[in-house]
């Protein structure tokens, strides 16, 4: 029986200060994060002790590079927020990692909360910039100069599911799902045969089918084996192939359909054969065809469209959910999946209120036709970027949403609540509540533990290796009764 799909999204944001030729994105990212958390009473450090990013799901651990200065030594910002999220500098980007969520709609709210947090960070950091300068932040995946940065998803899967089967059966799904979760891109590093616009910002940057890398020779299926949970029970499936979405519908579909597919794989319910002859080439060919009519070759010799592959996974999911207990959120995801696939098959452009790549294409095309612009015109390139601006009322996606032209799924009040409050149904609740309630008594924290400083000679670590414990139902009564962290430690040990 498939385990519940605890899930999260990590987003690296693009950052720049126009007109500042010596802008350092690493320092700028730290400035953003430090400005946001400056109002907290105490900085809680991230606990790196149990991290192992070089452990490979194929059964080995890669050699580590010679030790250099740690992120802490370099002074890079690394904050843990009261909503259970992590907000830190990763490479040269501010990264927001959502707290662990148990359903797609909840994850939509916390992913959109990240945009609000970045927007607030910009406001607070603007006071630290030279007069007349402004910092801009984009939720996208490429700088337009040949570099890409990531939006990664994470799903807990059963450790007993063989990784080779997991990778093989999910790979065709990943290659084809971009038709509904691509963010749209004007141009790209690889020339396309269909035209200047493509469905996905990330597709051209992938070069391998399976591997550990995330920045070079990126693989469609990533093998990092770092569960941040009980390693005997769980594997964290780290998904690096996917665009950062502004559309709430696209986010819901991206994580919901992936969660269902992983459940099917765990229960050995993938009955169709969609093994691709050349997955990397298929990934690019699909991305470069906004008509969604291009075909790719399967190992069986069949030529199919991305939509055909997705219909195959959808039909398997229908049969699977008839035989297995369905999560509460499955009905919404299945209904939306069916609707979107039907529209992609008949008229992709009818999804301009639901999918990022269609919304952006429609917007760019209308301006191009109105003003007689070439696709290479800088005005269109700027609009392509402006779609992803996180500032409310300034980013084109947010303007479309405000005007009812990009569908909202989560009320804005719920998004703003997710800025400060953690999900109720995972261990993120305990982490977030403790940070809000005992900020001066927490020395460090990570995904799987909170370390308290309650006086005495030693720090007190509270492990959280089970992501489905530490929920509101489990710990709210205890937290409500505790005035200090020492009270809490006493109750937990009692």
Residues that are catalytic = 90
Taking a C-beta distance cutoff of 8 angstroms, is the pair 183, 243 a contact?
yes
CA nearest to 46, candidates 108, 106, 6, 89:
89
The values of phi and psi at residue 94, to 5°, are -75, 130
φ/ψ bin of 470: left (φ > 0), alpha (ψ from -120 to 50), beta (otherwise) = left
Cα 42 from chain centroid (whole Å): 28
Taking a C-beta distance cutoff of 8 angstroms, is the pair 369, 363 a contact?
no
Cα 88 from chain centroid (whole Å): 15
Q: Across-strand partners of 210?
A: 221
**Cα(182)–Cα(244) distance, rounded to whole angstroms?**
8
SS3 percent helix, strand, coil of the chain, rounded to 5, is: 40, 15, 40
E strand map for 204-273? 206-211, 218-222, 234-239
**Cα(243)–Cα(134) distance, rounded to whole angstroms?**
26
Q: Across-strand partners of 185?
A: 198
Measured from the Cβ of residue 316, the count of other Cβ atoms closer than 10 Å reads 18
Taking a C-beta distance cutoff of 8 angstroms, is the pair 388, 85 a contact?
no
φ/ψ bin of 231: left (φ > 0), alpha (ψ from -120 to 50), beta (otherwise) = alpha
Report the SS3 class of residue 335.
helix
**Cα(85)–Cα(93) distance, rounded to whole angstroms?**
16
Measured from the Cβ of residue 354, the count of other Cβ atoms closer than 10 Å reads 22
Contacts of 109 (CB under 8 A, 6+ apart): 410, 414, 415, 417, 418
Taking a C-beta distance cutoff of 8 angstroms, is the pair 40, 83 a contact?
no
């Amino acid at each position: 029986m498939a385990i519940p799909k605890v899930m999260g999204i990590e987003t690296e944001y693009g950052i720049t200060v126009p007109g500042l030729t010596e802008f350092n994105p690493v320092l700028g990212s730290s400035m953003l994060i430090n400005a946001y958390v400056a109002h907290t009473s105490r900085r809680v450090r991230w606990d790196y002790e149990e991290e192992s990013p070089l452990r490979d799901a194929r059964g080995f651990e890669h050699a580590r590079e010679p030790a250099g200065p740690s992120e802490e030594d370099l002074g890079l910002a690394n904050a843990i927020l009261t909503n259970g999220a992590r907000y830190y500098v990763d490479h040269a980007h501010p990264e927001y990692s959502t707290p662990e969520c148990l359903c797609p709609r909840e994850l939509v709210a916390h992913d959109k909360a990240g945009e609000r947090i970045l927007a607030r960070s910009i406001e607070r950091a603007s006071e630290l910039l030279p007069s007349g300068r402004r910092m801009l932040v984009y939720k996208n995946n490429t700088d337009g100069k040949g570099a890409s940065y990531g939006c990664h998803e994470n799903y807990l899967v059963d450790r007993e599911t063989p990784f080779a089967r997991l990778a093989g059966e999910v790979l065709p799904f990943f290659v084809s799902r971009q038709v509904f979760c691509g963010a749209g891109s004007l141009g790209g590093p690889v020339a396309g045969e269909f035209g200047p616009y493509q469905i996905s910002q990330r597709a051209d940057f992938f070069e391998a089918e399976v591997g550990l890398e995330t920045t070079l020779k990126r693989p469609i299926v990533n093998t990092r084996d770092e569960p941040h949970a009980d390693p005997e029970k769980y594997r964290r499936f780290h998904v690096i192939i996917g665009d950062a979405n502004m559309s709430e519908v696209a986010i819901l579909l991206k994580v919901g359909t992936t969660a269902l597919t992983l459940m099917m794989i765990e229960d050995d319910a993938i009955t169709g054969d969609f093994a691709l002859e050349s997955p990397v080439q298929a990934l690019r060919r699909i991305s470069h065809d906004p008509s969604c009519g291009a075909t790719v070759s399967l190992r069986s010799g069949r030529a199919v469209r991305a939509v055909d592959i997705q219909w195959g996974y959808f039909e398997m999911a229908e049969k699977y959910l008839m035989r297995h207990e369905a999560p509460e959120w499955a009905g919404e995801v299945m209904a939306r999946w069916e609707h979107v696939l039907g529209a992609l098959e008949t008229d992709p452009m009818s999804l301009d209120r639901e999918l990022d790549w269609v919304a952006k294409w429609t917007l760019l095309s209308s301006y191009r036709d109105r003003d007689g612009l070439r696709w290479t015109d800088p005005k269109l390139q700027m609009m392509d970027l402006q779609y992803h601006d996180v500032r409310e009322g300034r980013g084109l996606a947010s303007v479309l949403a405000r005007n009812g032209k990009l569908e909202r799924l989560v009320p804005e009040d719920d998004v703003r609540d997710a800025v400060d409050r953690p999900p109720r149904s995972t261990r993120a609740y305990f982490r977030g509540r403790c940070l809000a309630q005992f900020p001066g008594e927490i020395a460090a924290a990570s995904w799987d533990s909170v370390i308290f400083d309650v006086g005495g000679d030693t720090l007190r670590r509270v492990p959280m290796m089970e992501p489905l414990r530490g929920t509101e139902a489990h710990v709210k009564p205890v937290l409500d009764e505790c005035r200090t962290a020492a009270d809490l430690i006493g109750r937990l040990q009692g």
